[in-house]
Amino acid sequence: MSVPFPFTAVVGQDDLRLALLLNAVSPAVGGVLVRGEKGTAKSTAVRALSALLPEVDVVAGCRFSCAPGAPDPACPDGPHETGPGAARPARMVELPVGASEDRLVGALDIERALAEGVKAFEPGLLAEAHRGILYVDEVNLLHDHLVDLLLDAAAMGASYVEREGVSVRHASKFLLVGTMNPEEGELRPQLLDRFGLTVEVAASREPEQRVEVVRRRLAYDDDPAGFAARWAGEEAAVRARIVAARALLPSVRLGDGALRQIAATCAAFEVDGMRADIVMARTATALAAWAGRTDVLAEDVRQAALLALPHRRRRNPFDAPGLDEDKLDETLEEFSGDDDRNGDRDTDRDSDRDDDPGPDDPGPGGGGGGGGQPAPDAGPQGGDTGARPEAGESGEPLASGSSDQSAVRASEPFRTKVLSVPGIGEGAAGRRSRARTEHGRTTGARRPRGALTKLHLAATVRAAAPYQRARGRSGPGLVVRRDDLRQATREGREGNLVLFVVDASGSMAARQRMSAVKGAVLSLLLDAYQRRDKVGLVTFRGAAADVALPPTSSVDAAAVRLESLPTGGRTPLAAGLLKAHDVLRVERLRDPARRALVVVVTDGRATGGPEPVALAGRAARLFAAEGVASVVVDCESGPVRLGLAGRLAGELGGTAVTLDALRADSIAGLVKEVQGSSRRAA
């Protein structure tokens, strides 16, 4: 869009705007991760920020945006002489989800290198974003290795490219902003920690505020230039305030008392490592500069904690982000007098809070429950054995249609064995099954389809060698043409669709057993999260099967549905398998490259309706006929076991594993590994 929506016209979203502005004041804060549902102005606010950033002076003709007053001595386009430069607006560079590594960091121009014998480096998006904003929409869908690259560049302020005989280092300092919808999947905790701040956004539930959002958006769509002109004054004021805060930032004093409060807060919330302390210190300093002060107050530390800690205190992907604000206030209060005890200059924080609830300026401020500055114009924004009567918790048979059991809590999750899809796929990059990918070990070569990204040098030489005499080459050297170029093929890992088909019938309803079953499925969900899979959940009980969760990347949504899963009734195993088969059929139309792994969690019994066992067998054979990978988690317990789950696995063409053997550190698995090692040694 040629005229961005004005930043100051965004309705509400105080925390979002404050976090963006703090990074504009001090890029060392480390960027912002914006989490929220669709349609909450995440992208609008980020794009609007770029118009507020001051212009930057650059060396004319430099592709790496060197500052003319202090050019980078290692700039690939240098060396540059110091002197006057050309002013241009700060850039906002967008990194698409499907971008390649070459597009991000840059690469050697292979064709020029072979044709002209020169090492020509083509800069990537990290060079283009230097001294501007790098915006990654749907950052949770970006491949992990690309996230690692851009976060490393953000942390070091430089990009290092070592590939295809090219060694390049260039400055890359930018404001990193990522947006994501948690319903589409989470970032790994290690990557969450690399974002300085995080903000949770949601649409307002206040009718008046929603009306104002619609009113302003319609006015903007009708006349973007006119709408922007009406907000030009507010935009200019915020732009000037950013410049003033940047100038004041070096003078801001972070006292020992504030530092102790920061350290105590990070310790109280048990965040890992020291990055949180550093980010909080930088954020509190930026807050003081934004408020026009040269001293960091307790309210700055509090607001910094609300922005810098929620995503760092998560211990697993099923923990909800957020902070206990009462605990935060108690910690800050406990360490509020450290400056007095150490003889430091005392700041009258109590009188500040009583007489001046916020700085006497109308700039955009932070919400988040405390300490933030108010925002100006906070506007929008088989057989008879399978038909046995089912036992309830007390061991008595359950009648057909018996009442539901209350939901049972899952037992503690554990590390599971790796379940994978056989063969080699070509699906989305992940960590489960073998696949042909852009990254991994080189396994062969092929003609390039489109742009050449990974040259297979030996295959290229072999393709060109037979034609050297015909091309007039008689001495040393090699004449290489475009048709000779070969793309390296690589093998890595892909993410799969893991579809859980969970038996919630009365035969599974003993509370201790159902708790273990839910714990096992929760463990498999955690494994799916770590391996970048999509997951789905089908349950069956009573007379029918239900899709409790359609295939999604949001593993925590599956965990929530699993936790509240009721049990009881008969076991319509065939209905559950047929429902899962239908889910896979639809998903193949949406994403043909993503292979499925069906995990059936059951004791193998089938009851209800005529010939329930025969119907379940026929349904299972549909999966076998289509070659769908499947695993049956055998939940049968007790001294007498019928082996029905193993029989079901045979019908599916898959394997069966018991709950105990599912553990990665189980004794059964250890014995199997030792036996395998002994055979190999013999």
Q: How far apart, in whole angstroms, are the C-alpha atoms of residue 152 and residue 611?
A: 60
Q: How far apart, in whole angstroms, are the C-alpha atoms of residue 649 and residue 617?
A: 10
Asked whether the beta carbons of 456 and 443 are under 8 A apart, the reply is no
Strand segments (E) across 399-524: 429-437, 441-446, 487-494, 497-503
CA 245 to chain centre: 32
Asked whether the beta carbons of 338 and 261 are under 8 A apart, the reply is yes
Asked whether the beta carbons of 187 and 140 are under 8 A apart, the reply is yes
| 182, 188, 194, 199 alpha-carbon torsion, rounded to 10° | 20
β-strand partners of 107: 122
Which is it for strands 86-88 and 56-58: parallel, antiparallel or unpaired? Answer: antiparallel
Pick from 555, 552, 460: which is nearest to 111 by CA?
Answer: 460
Looking at residue 484, the DSSP 8-state letter turns out to be G
| 136, burial (CB in 10 Å: exposed 0-12, middle 13-18, buried 19+) | buried
The SS3 assignment for 116 reads: helix
| HEC-encoded secondary structure of 343-374 | CCCCCCHHHHHHHCCCCCCCCCCCCCCCCCCC
Q: What is the DSSP string of 492-535?
A: EEE--EEEEEEE-SGGG--HHHHHHHHHHHHHHHHHHHHTT-EE
Alpha-carbon distances, residue 20 vs 237, 287, 329, 359, 470 (angstroms): 16, 12, 25, 18, 62
Triad 171, 177, 179: Cα angle to 5°? 145
Q: How far apart, in whole angstroms, are the C-alpha atoms of residue 397 and residue 391?
A: 4
Q: Which helix (H) or strand (E) holds 677?
A: helix 667-681
Asked whether the beta carbons of 392 and 402 are under 8 A apart, the reply is yes
CA 41 to chain centre: 19
Q: How far apart, in whole angstroms, are the C-alpha atoms of residue 531 and residue 435?
A: 13
Residues 6+ apart with CB under 8 A from 399: none
Q: How far apart, in whole angstroms, are the C-alpha atoms of residue 201 and residue 18?
A: 12
Q: How far apart, in whole angstroms, are the C-alpha atoms of residue 315 and residue 609?
A: 45
What is the identity of the amino acid at 639? P
Active site residue 275: yes
The SS3 assignment for 488 reads: strand
Helix axis angle for 232-248 and 14-25, nearest 10°, is 50
Asked whether the beta carbons of 53 and 7 are under 8 A apart, the reply is no
Q: How far apart, in whole angstroms, are the C-alpha atoms of residue 655 and residue 130?
A: 52
Whether the ω angle into residue 4 lies within 30 degrees of 0, i.e. cis, is no
Pick from 45, 6, 21: which is nearest to 307 by CA?
Answer: 21
- Pull the structure tokens for residue 509: 């309803």
Q: List the catalytic residue out of 275, 314, 434, 561.
A: 275
Q: Which residues are catalytic?
A: 275
